[in-house]
Amino acid sequence: MVSTAPFHSICAHRLLTEVAAKPKWRLLILWMLLVVLPGTSSVLKADCSTAGEIPDIVESPSLRVVTLNMAHGRKDGRNQVLLKGETIRDNLLELAQLLDRAEADVIALQEADAASAWSGKFNHVDFLVENSVYGCSFHGVHASNRMYDFGTALLSKYPFQGAFAHSFVPSKPTTTKGFSVAALDWNPDRALAEPVKIKFVSVHLDFSRKSVRRSQVDEMVRVLSGLEGPMVVMGDFNTDWQSEESSLKHLAERLGLSAFDPHAQGLSTYGDKGARLDWILVSGALGFSRYAVFPEVVSDHYAVAADLVLKELDDE
């Protein structure tokens, strides 16, 4: 039986109420997105500050994964451009402490900024690496202009293999989204003759249009269907499972992925209407043993965590 018991102290789930920006700030934000000339998306290389200090193979009996939209370090503020760099650093320190308490093997991040004028002019992923137990990272930048460089990222205590990033076809007027991919070798309790390579994906889909999300999912299928072995796809999908036209459901069907209890109540991750936008999907070789939404407010989204098991061993 799957447990939804907390990974650490969890109280009643708090829901955020999105604060509407004042008209003048709406105009400023719109100007940043539409008028500032966009640049070319880039990919930042994988890095591991703890290389040589830890094993290359994960040997824990289960894999703990976490996904979180970082909201550019603004926590629950109106917009990161309105915050001082010191405030953003303090927000990210809170976020790093939450991730440390989660004791994850792999963390997927979205709205993860490289050094950007609108969010303190420092690399948020590097900052998390320097201030957490997760010394290894891969950061794909999908959206760039003179105000920002941001995208998706993966963090771990273990060195990643075969990392790459993919940026979706631009979807103006919204910013370009994409996904990052990296792999780890896993041998649960050394029970296998050879470790199994697990691919991890951190993805962010467009928030504004179903048609764009469907197109982005089709891009994901084209890229990811060529990868062999078990896969974990995590991130902010900006949609739920309920609609027959759900891009999330379409992705799961096309790639043979499953979600934890997709119709469950009490697993909302965003807003005051109980929206479940942040998901963890796994391929058929993997199963869920625990699943939880963390109540701590470190973003306008809540972090989601799951413990995963290898079915062939769990069924023995």
Domains and CATH numbers, the chain: 23-314 (3.60.10.10)
The answer to whether residues 281 and 167 touch, using CB atoms and an 8 Å cutoff, is no
Report the alpha-carbon distance of residue 115 to residue 123 in Å, rounded. Answer: 4
Q: Is 204 exposed, middle or buried, given 0-12, 13-18 or 19+ CB atoms closer than 10 A?
A: buried
pLDDT tens, residue by residue, 13-30: 333 323 334 454 454 444
Instruction: Report pLDDT for 54.
Output: 78
Other CB atoms closer than 10 Å to residue 69's CB: what's the count?
A: 25
The answer to whether residues 301 and 207 touch, using CB atoms and an 8 Å cutoff, is no
Instruction: Report pLDDT for 244.
Output: 80
- Whether this prediction's pTM lies above 0.85 is answered by yes
- Reference 183, options 138, 217, 241; nearest CA is 138
How does 270-285 read in b/e, with b if 16+ C-beta sit within 10 Å?
beeeeebbbbbbbbeb
Pick the residue with more confidence: 234 or 47?
A: 234
Checking if the pLDDT of 45 tops 90, the result is no
Task: State mean pLDDT over 76-98.
Answer: 95
Task: State mean pLDDT over 44-64.
Answer: 80
Report the alpha-carbon distance of residue 181 to residue 163 in Å, rounded. Answer: 5
Looking at the DSSP bridge assignments, the partners of residue 286 are 310
Task: State mean pLDDT over 282-294.
Answer: 97
Instruction: Report pLDDT for 20.
Output: 36
Instruction: Report pLDDT for 315.
Output: 66
How many residues would you count in the chain?
Answer: 316
At residue 99, the 3 state secondary structure works out as helix
Report the alpha-carbon distance of residue 85 to residue 59 in Å, rounded. Answer: 39
Checking if the pLDDT of 259 tops 70, the result is yes
At residue 212, the 3 state secondary structure works out as helix
Instruction: Report pLDDT for 15.
Output: 31
Q: Quote the DSSP letter at residue 11.
A: -
- How much is the CA Rg of the chain, to the nearest whole Å? 18
Q: Which of 48-62, 82-96, 128-142, 145-159 has the lowest mean pLDDT?
A: 48-62
Other CB atoms closer than 10 Å to residue 102's CB: what's the count?
A: 21
- The model's confidence at residue 12, banded by pLDDT at 50, 70 and 90, is very low
The secondary element (H helix, E strand) that includes residue 279 is: strand 278-283
pLDDT tens, residue by residue, 137-181: 999 999 999 999 999 999 999 999 999 999 999 999 999 999 999
Report the alpha-carbon distance of residue 142 to residue 150 in Å, rounded. Answer: 6
Query: Average per-residue pLDDT in the chain?
Result: 87
